[in-house]
Structure 1
Amino acid sequence: MNGRQETAERSDHKVMRAARILAAAEEILRANNGELEMSQVAEKANVSVGLAYHYFGSKSGMLSAIIDAFYDRYNAVVNQYIDPDIQWGVREKDRLKAAVEFLYNDPMAPVILGKMAQTRQVAAVESARHEEMIEMAIRNIGSGIKRGDIGSHIDPAIAGAAITGAIRSGIMHAMGMRPRPDPAKLTHQIWGVIAGALEIER
């Protein structure tokens, strides 16, 4: 085995060990309603506490990695490619449906959007990601206006910010309800708000 192969194997081993530590941390967060201690994570992942700190620097660093990974998964869903030739309203309703289904099914969504939403780590990451979502909404609405699917009197910046906030608030509230609303019904209701704001057919 040459030096390059050995380096690659060591790198792969580090990646897998870091992933195992994060998986253990996520499991503890889900079981403890968003709370964890580094000692718990180390024990669960079968590593030393020092190694957990080595990989993530601090408890805050570990939580930030978990939160970033969650939003990366979420963004991959809401930013997925959808045929641009499909009517704007149909395309974006499909995107909303996918977002609702993701948040209903991702095991970390109730934790990160629940109690952890009040923490500094989540607030910092979510603030940046929320701005990204607003920018995406503005571009999407702008494309709908150019295609003639949305009236030119609609301001994409105002509508994009308002709609993004409405989606976030509606989904977060629904996820806290017991029982949760049916995802198809939730998608339909939120889409009604979007369609009303953009003055398009539901």
Structure 2
Amino acid sequence: MSQESPNKVLGQKAKQTRQRILRAAAQELADRGGELEIANVAATAQVSSGLIYRYFSSRVDLIAATVDDFYDQYDQWIIDINPLPGAGWISRERARVERSISFIRKHPLARVVFLNRQKEPLVAAVESRRLAAHLALAIDNVRLAQEKGEINKSIDAYVACPMVMGGIRELMVQLLSDSPHLKSDTTHLLDQTMAFIARAMGLTTSELR
């Protein structure tokens, strides 16, 4: 696992140094298409290579921590907030999908995280843990909507949610791959994505409005 526990005992200055190293690592990974050299990260972060190893046990551990940090940012921007307080479930989900598309398009590390299929086991473990957490939250989200009568209880959240999540993730892969079949217009992407989600959740087209 990536070394996260040191954050709990680090002082504020050390936490800032660790975060600076993570930002430098993210830049290195983005600039070099998933490759990372500790010496380059040290130069960008303006620290010694030896100092980096005080925070991260290895080059792979640093990559894993950087991917973990990417998902922290993703969660803060998309999952940990209610984008439309007081709105219905489908409206909130449209807002979340819109924020997700915006985040993935703009974040420099997104191409590395989504397009790099060959991952070190430690990095793959971080991604598996984060995606499992996302799935659990999605299931809870749908079941709560069912309790409120916004989604029919005949829908099995444990089946529908992984199907929807897998479809949306593949859409992000295609976006980042610059697929010529996808229009750049965000409204078109949102309309098509929400139509897919609505069908998976047993909603009608009229309920999208």
Shorter-chain TM band: 0.7 to 0.9
Q: Is the 8 A contact 1:112 1:122 kept in 2?
A: no
Alignment size in residue pairs: 192
Q: Is the 8 A contact 1:100 1:171 kept in 2?
A: yes
TM-score when scaled to structure 1? 0.85
The corresponding residue for 1:4 is none
**2: CA distance between counterparts of 1:175 and 1:192?**
21
The corresponding residue for 2:137 is 136
Greater relative contact order (Cα 8 A, min sep 6): structure 1 or 2?
2
Runs of 4+ in 1 over 6 A off after TM superposition: none
2:198 aligned to 170, 195, 199, which one?
Answer: 195
**2: CA distance between counterparts of 1:199 and 1:97?**
21
The corresponding residue for 2:58 is 58
Alpha-carbon offset, residue 69 of structure 1 = 0.7
Q: Is the 8 A contact 1:18 1:55 kept in 2?
A: yes
Unaligned runs of 5+ in 1: 1-9
The corresponding residue for 1:124 is 125
Alpha-carbon offset, residue 175 of structure 1 = 1.5
3-state DSSP of counterpart to 1:102 = helix
Give the helix-richer structure, 1 or 2.
1
The corresponding residue for 1:3 is none
Matches within 5 A, 1:6-17: 11-17=11-17
Q: CA RMSD of the aligned region, Å?
A: 2.1
Q: Is the 8 A contact 1:21 1:41 kept in 2?
A: yes
Alpha-carbon offset, residue 70 of structure 1 = 0.5
3-state DSSP of counterpart to 1:43 = helix
1:67-94 residue CA offsets vs partner (Å, 9 max, x unmatched): 1110011112232124564221111111
> Which of the pair has more CA radius of gyration?
1
TM-score when scaled to structure 2? 0.82
What residue identity is the alignment partner of 1:124?
A
Over the matched positions of the two proteins, sequence identity in percent amounts to 32
**1: CA distance between counterparts of 2:88 and 2:98?**
16
What residue identity is the alignment partner of 2:132?
E
Alpha-carbon offset, residue 153 of structure 1 = 1.3
Change in Cα spacing, 1:26 to 1:182, as seen in structure 2 (3 Å) is same
Q: Which moved more, 1:81-90 or 1:27-36?
A: 81-90
Unaligned runs of 5+ in 2: 1-9
Q: Is the 8 A contact 2:84 2:95 kept in 1?
A: no
1:43-98 residue CA offsets vs partner (Å, 9 max, x unmatched): 33332221111221211121111111100111122321245642211111111111
